């Protein structure tokens, strides 16, 4: 098993450029199933979730290729609508093929999606959206069948602004007869990026002032070349790493606007984050009082674990509440092993920021929890052995390369036993 060996060695310095967005890449790769290819997606991160998605496309009979960070997808040879097997079962975003396959093939058979163990993660909203657009859904234990003669536009109101259900609704609606309106649609930048990709190809999609998405279907979609925006969660993770280690770094392609909420919190802690990507984390930092995760543009759930790590040594008390997923505070247990003073009360972590963290043997509970433990280990005294690197590799193209260029002592090591 691979694990990370990290030695806390003082402030970070230097500059980096962050990878393209994982959570934009995944729905856009699914969108390449619609219309004729080949599309080229540039700045596409080389991470396991993307590689799994490309394997799923290949299983569908879709030709894909990669030249460095440019991925080509040509769906003209698609030959089936079955999303099954290891890759489909271990990533959450396999469900995003549902809308595109119904639109392209009139059917979809897929395994219940996997993904990080951060809560129950049902897909009821996805299935409801497809039924409203005219599809029939048949659910077995682990397999879901969906089919439709022809998707028809409809009005949909999501009971919660689910990112994935919004994206699936968009992918089906661009193939539906007539207009679809999605009310209470998610506003995450990755949803906007999917819409930009589809509009560039010829789709007609507008967001009204009340936030509803209006999609007029059945417009021909042409192949395009499209470059992904930087990954705001990876960038936000490195901001939290700087908060843990202190120092002065620069993120050359910092998606400043998309990180408004996290930057506001880090500046409340005492950091300075400039729009040009220059970041100062001079001690002492301080706690933030109360904060709850929220749908965009609120504080993103994906940065809750890295922020938890930063708050452990920020001085003062903080109360960090998770409102999006029902089991996403598990990183606290591993941080406590490193000396953190964190108490879980319901869906909140009460953090006493006066602790000093020490190196420890710990294990990543999931993707962003693993990234949080990297941040904590960088600021801890001594050596940390962090197991579960495979989780981190799902979303971070090369966390060692990135952090080494900021002066961190971090190495990927092959071990013979699970940590």
Should residue 124 be labelled a site residue for ligand EPZ when binding is judged by CB under 6 A? yes
- Sites for ligand EPZ among residues 165-204 (CB under 6 A): 165, 188, 190
Nearest approach, Cβ of residue 8 and ligand EPZ (Å): 25
**Tokens 């619609």 map to which residue?**
34
Q: Single out the segment in contact with ligand EPZ by CB under 6 A; choices: 158-166, 275-283, 310-318, 383-391.
A: 158-166
Secondary structure (H, E, C), 204-217: EEEECCCCCEEEEC
Residues whose CB is less than 8 angstroms from the CB of residue 143 and which lie 6 or more positions away in sequence, other chains included: 84, 109, 110, 111, 112
Q: Single out the segment in contact with ligand EPZ by CB under 6 A; choices: 29-37, 74-82, 122-130, 208-216.
A: 122-130
Please name the helix (run of DSSP H) or strand (run of DSSP E) that holds residue 101, with its range, or none: helix 97-105
Among 21, 53, 111, 162, binds ligand EPZ (CB under 6 A): 162
Secondary structure (H, E, C), 327-374: CCCCHHHHHHHCCCEEEEECCEEEEECCCCCECCEEECCCHHHHHHHH
Nearest approach, Cβ of residue 248 and ligand EPZ (Å): 28
DSSP string, 180-208: EEEET----HHHHHHHHHHHHHT-EEEE-
Shorter beta-carbon distance to ligand EPZ: residue 97 or 287: 97
| C-alpha dihedral, 394 to 397 to 403 to 409, nearest 10° | 70
- What distance in Å separates the CA atoms of residue 12 and residue 14, rounded to the nearest whole number? 7
For residue 374, CA distances in Å to 95, 354, 395 come to 29, 19, 14
Should residue 88 be labelled a site residue for ligand EPZ when binding is judged by CB under 6 A? no
Shorter beta-carbon distance to ligand EPZ: residue 22 or 201: 22
Among 104, 201, 232, 368, binds ligand EPZ (CB under 6 A): 368
Among 197, 226, 325, 396, binds ligand EPZ (CB under 6 A): 325
Residue 138, exposed/middle/buried by CB under 10 A (0-12, 13-18, 19+)?
A: exposed
Please, are residues 383 and 359 in contact by the beta-carbon 8 Å criterion? yes
Catalytic residue among 39, 116, 195, 375: 116
Should residue 302 be labelled a site residue for ligand EPZ when binding is judged by CB under 6 A? yes
- Sites for ligand EPZ among residues 331-350 (CB under 6 A): none
Whether 321 is a known active-site residue: answer no
Shorter beta-carbon distance to ligand EPZ: residue 22 or 246: 22
- Sites for ligand EPZ among residues 224-243 (CB under 6 A): none
Q: Which residues of this chain interact with ligand EPZ, rule CB under 6 A?
A: 22-23, 26, 92-93, 116, 119-126, 160, 162-165, 188, 190, 301-302, 324-325, 367-368, 395
Catalytic residues: 116
């Amino acid at each position: 098993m691979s694990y990370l060996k990290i030695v806390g060695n003082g402030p970070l310095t230097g500059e980096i450029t962050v990878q393209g967005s994982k959570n934009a890449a995944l729905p856009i790769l699914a969108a390449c199933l619609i219309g004729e290819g080949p599309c080229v997606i540039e700045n596409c991160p080389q991470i396991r979730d993307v590689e799994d998605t490309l394997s799923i496309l290949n299983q569908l009979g879709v030709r894909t290729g990669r030249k460095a960070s440019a991925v080509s997808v040509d769906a003209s040879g698609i030959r089936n609508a079955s999303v099954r097997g290891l890759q489909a079962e271990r990533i959450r975003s396999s469900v995003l093929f549902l809308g595109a396959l119904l639109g392209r093939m009139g059917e979809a058979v897929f395994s219940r999606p996997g993904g990080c163990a951060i809560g129950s993660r049902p897909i009821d909203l996805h299935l409801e959206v497809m039924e409203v657009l005219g599809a029939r859904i048949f659910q077995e234990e682990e397999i879901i069948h969906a089919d439709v003669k022809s998707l028809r536009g409809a009005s949909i109101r999501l009971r919660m602004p689910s990112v994935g259900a919004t994206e699936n609704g968009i992918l089906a609606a661009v193939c539906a007869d007539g207009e679809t309106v999605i009310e209470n649609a998610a506003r995450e930048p990755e949803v906007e990026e999917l819409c930009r990709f589809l509009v560039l190809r010829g789709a007609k999609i507008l967001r009204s002032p009340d936030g509803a998405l209006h999609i007029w279907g059945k417009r021909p979609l042409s192949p395009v070349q499209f470059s992904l925006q930087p990954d705001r969660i990876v960038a936000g993770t490195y901001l939290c790493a700087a908060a843990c280690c202190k120092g002065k770094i620069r993120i050359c392609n910092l998606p400043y606007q998309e990180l408004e909420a996290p930057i506001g919190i880090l500046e409340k802690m005492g950091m300075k984050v400039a729009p040009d990507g220059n970041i100062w984390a001079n001690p002492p930092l301080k706690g933030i009082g109360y904060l709850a995760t929220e749908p965009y543009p609120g504080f993103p759930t994906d940065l809750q674990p890295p922020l938890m790590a930063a708050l452990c040594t920020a001085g003062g008390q903080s109360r960090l509440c998770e409102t999006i997923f029902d089991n996403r505070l598990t990183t606290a247990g591993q941080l406590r092993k490193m000396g953190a003073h964190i108490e879980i009360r319901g869906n909140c972590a009460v953090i006493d920021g006066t602790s000093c963290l020490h190196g420890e043997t710990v294990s990543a509970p999931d993707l962003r929890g693993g990234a949080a433990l990297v941040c904590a280990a960088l600021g801890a005294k001594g050596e940390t052995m962090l197991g579960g690197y495979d989780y981190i590799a799902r979303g971070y193209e090369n966390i060692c390369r990135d952090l080494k260029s900021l002066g961190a002592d971090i190495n990927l090591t092959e071990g013979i036993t699970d940590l």
